[in-house]
Chain A
Amino acid sequence: MGPQHPSTHGVLRLKLLLDGETVKNVEPVIGYLHRNAEKICELDYYCDSLIYFDRMDYVAAMNMEIGYLEAAEKLLAIEPPERVKWIRVVMAELNRLASHLVWAGAFGLDLGMLTPFFYFFEEREKILNLFTEICGSRQETNYMSIGGVYQDFNDKIIFKIKQFLKQFPKKMEEAYSLFIKNDIFISRTKGIGILEPEVALSYGVTGPMLRASGVPYDVRKDAPYLVYDKLNFDVPISRGKDVLARCIVRFEEMRQSVKILNQALDKIPDGPYFNPKAKKSLMIRLRGEGDVYARTESPKGEFGVHLVGDGTVKPYRLHVRSPAFKNLSILPYLSRDVLIADMVAISGSIDLVFGEVDR
């Protein structure tokens, strides 16, 4: 199956060993989108590496940028101003919504439902329009920089985001009911791909996948970064452990994101939108020494960046913990002795983005 196949979300090749319609063994073959971003980052200045992070998880570029900046700002000892932290939270949560909407649309397609796709992508398009207005670009936004953001928020933007948030929950619930009130959908997902919490932890699975197995691990709660400790939100978990549970958890996460956004938009303080120590003319001279590990919660799971500096203007070593890479590694385990169509549902529920798996 693959590398070009409608249900592999990009370029995944699966070597299947079949007995009739039953899958006996799966071997994922990855690397078709590999461009070794880690090596490229070693050859670039600290501030230039950001654009390669945009292209890792290309449906959640903001979350990737935050992941890198958390590590880089720790290493370079540059603290972003308070206003920037709140702006970053707003952008991260908007992008989390966009990412989950893409997943929901594609997941429907995996199961043969075309209609929800249009509902979800209509909403996502509105978020991308907001991004265009704020950063000038839809997906690969390159919006943030070390110690700040490139463009400040103004009242008009905040008003527009609020307007979007007013109509969004109703639209989302409408599309959600296409999933959850559909008997065919339930029977295709319920009890499929059962993942026990101990196994999930051992395989390094994180994010909605792990929370659907009943482990309440969310970096935003367990090791708060930015201003997540000042926000009031819940970490949804499910004890269903199956594909349906992962779907429910992701939708509940969207509701929580809306909750976070509503709080954060009212709380953005006034102040500068970049740290003067990292303004554009000084940025390429930033030096860092030592090593740091920063983890953040991307829509797919724990996104970690291990950054080693040797006192020069370029990183010595950069290593990315890609959540989708780890989540994919459990596919062979989950797909033993299931039907091919169920394996497609399982791989859809993992939420794979190959820019991130292959880096």
Chain B
Amino acid sequence: MPYEVKEEKGKDGRKVFLIQKENFLELMTDLRKQGYDHLSLITAVDFRDRIELVYHLQKSESNFELLTVRTVTYDSTIDSVSSIWESANWDEREQYDMMGVVFKGHPNLKRILLPEGWVGYPLRKDYDLSKNQYVNMDDEGNDRVSFDPGDGW
């Protein structure tokens, strides 16, 4: 393999691959070719100075055994895997929405649970919980987010 993969055991005994961000997409493409056809979950964990991305993959041939791939990004960007697994589409949108991770090459990267125009990324550790944001609807039926309670609140 042209890149280096560190392998270790997770706390609960599952297999974990550690990979550099530069080789990440290559590894994922290879894993898909090796039969990992089910991407279960993408999690981003905010460690203040860096964001760790955790991918849980499963192989349908061998009883859906679990494989975890971890990578670290310091500038909140990572290559998108939505061209390899369709399920990454919504997963990556969710992580963008909650954590502000930008997935390069994603076809439709916009917020999924929160309305467009929301300020900040709620699951970041530095998110300000003391400021309320209010969602109203404009005449066309689109969401409008503001810090001002406005009418009806």
Which residues of chain A have a CB within 8 Å of any CB of chain B?
30-31, 34, 36, 38-39, 42, 74-75, 198-199, 201-204, 215, 217, 219, 222-223, 290-295, 302, 304, 306, 308, 316-317, 319, 321, 325-326, 329, 333, 358-359
Supposing A217-B64, A291-B11 touch, asked if A31 and B113 sit within 8 A by C-beta, the answer is yes
A306 touches B113 (CB 8 A): no
Which residues of chain B have a CB within 8 Å of any CB of chain A?
10-12, 14, 37-41, 43, 45-46, 54, 56, 60, 63-66, 68, 85-87, 89-91, 94, 98, 112-115, 122-123, 127
B85 touches A202 (CB 8 A): yes
Contacts of A291 in B (CB 8 A): 10-11, 45, 54
A-B pairs with the 5 shortest C-beta distances? Answer: A204-B87, A31-B113, A290-B11, A319-B43, A321-B41
Q: A245 to B94: give the CA distance in the assembly, Å.
A: 30
Kindly provide the distance from the CB of B20 to the nearest chain A CB, expressed in whole angstroms: 20
Q: A159 to B10: give the CA distance in the assembly, Å.
A: 43
8 A-B pairs with C-beta separation under 8 A: A31-B112, A38-B123, A202-B38, A204-B91, A222-B63, A304-B56, A319-B41, A358-B113
Q: A74 to B11: give the CA distance in the assembly, Å.
A: 8
A302 touches B11 (CB 8 A): no
Q: A291 to B56: give the CA distance in the assembly, Å.
A: 13
Selected from A204, A293, A333, the residue in CB contact (under 8 A) with B68 is A293
Kindly provide the distance from the CB of A310 to the nearest chain B CB, expressed in whole angstroms: 9
- Can you name the residue of chain A whose Cβ is closest to the Cβ of B87? A204
Q: A199 to B86: give the CA distance in the assembly, Å.
A: 8
Selected from A34, A201, A292, the residue in CB contact (under 8 A) with B10 is A292
Q: A290 to B63: give the CA distance in the assembly, Å.
A: 26
B122 touches A39 (CB 8 A): yes
